[in-house]
Chains A and B, each alone.
Chain A
Amino acid sequence: MEIIDFLQYSFIQKAFIAGFFVAITCSILGLFLVLRKMSLIGDGLSHVSFGAIALGLFFGIYPFYVAVPLVILASILILKISEKAKIYGDAAIGIVSAVGISGGVILASLSQGFNVDLFSYLFGNILAISNLEVVLSALLSIIVILVIYFFYWDLFSATFDEEYSKTTGIKTTFINNLLTVLTAVTVVLSIRMAGVMLVSALLILPAVTALQLSSGFKKAMLISVITSLLSISLGIIFSFFLDLPTGATIVMINVLFFGIALVYKKL
C-alpha cells in the first residue's frame, strides 16, 4: 500500500489530527514538568484516569466526561496533600495514583461487564479514536496551549527560580495549580493515544530529548514539539504498516530519539 492511500483512510486522518494536537500540548507542558521535577505527576494522574474511566463505564457515562473533572480534582488533591500533610509531592502522587488504580479494579470486578472496554484504555488505540474525541482533543489542546501562551513568562520565571519570581509579584501558588490542572487535562487527552500505562512517556520523553540538544528555552520548546510530532507521525505510520500497537510504537520512537540525542550530545 502506498503512503497516499494510507492517508486517505478517515481513521488515519483522525489519528493524525488528534495526535498532532496532543503532541504539541504534551511536549510544551512536559518541558515545564520535567524542569520542575514533576515528571511523575503524569504517571499518577493517568492512574487516576483509569479509575475515572472505570467509573464512567460503570455508570454508562462517556468516560471522557467523567475523567476530565475527576482527574483535575485529583491533581488539586495531590497539591493539597503535599501542602497540608507535609509530605513530598511524589508520596502524594503515589497515594492518589493508588486510589485511582484500586478504584478502577474494584469497579471492574463489581461490573463484570466492561473489562474489555476498560483494559483497552490501558494501552490506548489512537487508530480507534472517534469524531467526538478528535474534536474534544483539539478543543482542549487549544485551551491548554492558549493558557501556556498567556502565562508563558510566569511559567518560565517560576520554573527557573521560584523564590525570585515571588519577589517580582508572580503568584507562584496559582502558577503551580495552573500547571497541575493543565497536566490533568492533557493526561486525559493523551490516554486514547498512549494508554494509561504509557501516557507519561509523551510528557517526559520529548522534553528530555530537547534538553539534551537545546541552548535556550525557546529552542528547547521547539525541539520538544518537533520530536513529539515526528514520534507521533512515525508511530502511526510504522504501527499501521508493521501491525504493531500504536501507543507503544510512538513511545519506542520517542525513546529512540532520546537515545540519538544522548549520543549526539556525547559526540
Chain B
Amino acid sequence: MSIIEAKNIFVNYGPSEALKDISFVIERGDFVGLAGSNGAGKTTLVKTILGLLPLSKGSIELFEKNQDTFNDWYKIGYLPQKFSTINALFPATVEEVVTLGLLSVKKFPKRITKADKERAKKIMEELGIIKFAKKMLSELSGGQQQKALLGRALIAEPEILIFDEPSTALDPNSRESFFKLLQSLNKEKGITIILITHDTGYIGKYANKLLYIDRELIYFGKFSEFCADNKMQSYFGEHEQHIICHQHD
C-alpha cells in the first residue's frame, strides 16, 4: 500500500521554483532517507506533503486519498526541525507536550481524559522520559526534548513518522541511540519513516531507501541500487557515492 504518492509536484516561492517535477511513491514499512544539500528543498518537500505549503502543480496522495480530502492526520507523526517552530517561553510540561499529539484524534470540544494521560505515561515510559513528566520542556537537554517531541508524534499511533533533521540537536551518542530507536520503530512496529538529513554518510546505516533531491528529483529508490548505479556515480562522483553508501549494512 502506498503511504505517500507525489505526482509531478511543483512548489513555487514567488517567482522561483523551490521544487520542480518531483514524483515518488513511499510504501508501508519504508525507511526513507531524504537527502540533499542546503537549500535543495528537503524541508519544503516535507511541508508540502503535510499541507503546510501549497502545491503549485501536481498532486499528493496520502494513504491513497487526495491530500485535499485527507482528514486522518493522526496517521502522520511529525517532528519539525531543531524545535524551530516551538515557542521557547511557553511553560509546557513534558506530559502536556506529549499529550498534544492526541489532538489529531479528538473531536470538538477536545478534552484530555484519564485514559489519554495513561497513554501519555506509557509513551513516556517507553521513551525513558517518565521522570521528566512534570518538568518543563525548556529544562531538558536537547536529547530529552527530542524524545518528548517524539512522544508527541508517537502518541496517536501514527503509521508514518516524518523527521526534519532530528540529529542536529543531539550529541553523537544521543544521535546513535535516537536513530536506533527509529530503526526499532520501523522494524518492530512497522512504522514508515521519512527522515530528512544532510548527513548522507550516516543515513545509509538505517534507511532502506534514498530520496535525493536538488530542487528536482535526483534519485529515488533502494539504497543498494543507488550504490550500484553508474548514473549516480557520474552525478555524485565515485568518492561521494562511496560516502553515502559505505555505512549501509
Contacts and interface: CB of A to CB of B under 8 A. Distances in A.
A164 B112 CA distance: 18
A153 B110 CA distance: 7
B6 interface: no
Given A160-B97, A169-B104, A150 B71 contact: no
A215 B86 contact: no
A149 B111 CA distance: 10
Interface string B70-110: 01011010101000011101111100110011011010111
Contacts, number: 89
A150 B109 contact: yes
B134 A216 contact: yes
A165 B74 CA distance: 11
B50 interface: yes
A223 to B, nearest CB: 10
Interface string A40-67: 0000000000000000000000000000
Q: How large is the interface on A (under 10, 10 to 19, 20 to 34, 35 or more residues)?
A: 20 to 34
A160 B100 contact: yes
A83 interface: no
A162 B73 contact: no
Contact of B73 (A167, A219, A220): A167
A157 interface: yes
B103 A160 contact: no
Given A162-B85, A216-B134, A168 B91 contact: no
Nearest to B47: A163
A153 B91 contact: no
Interface residues of A: mostly helix, strand, loop or mixed?
helix
A248 to B, nearest CB: 28
Contacts of B92: 156, 160, 216-217
A159 B93 contact: no
Nearest to A219: B91
A167 B87 contact: no
Contacts of A168: 73-74, 100-101, 103-104
Contacts of B50: 166-167
Interface string B45-76: 00000111000000000000000000101101
Given A154-B110, A220-B91, A170 B52 contact: no
B127 interface: no
Interface string B106-120: 101111100000000
A151 B78 CA distance: 22
Interface of A: 35-36, 149-154, 156-157, 159-170, 211, 214-217, 219-220
Given A154-B110, A163-B85, A164-B80, 4 more contacts: A160-B90, A161-B100, A165-B100, A168-B104
30 contacts: A35-B87, A35-B89, A35-B90, A149-B109, A150-B108, A150-B109, A153-B103, A154-B103, A157-B100, A159-B87, A159-B90, A160-B86, A160-B90, A160-B92, A161-B86, A161-B87, A164-B85, A164-B100, A165-B103, A166-B52, A167-B51, A167-B73, A167-B76, A169-B71, A215-B93, A215-B134, A215-B136, A217-B90, A217-B93, A219-B91
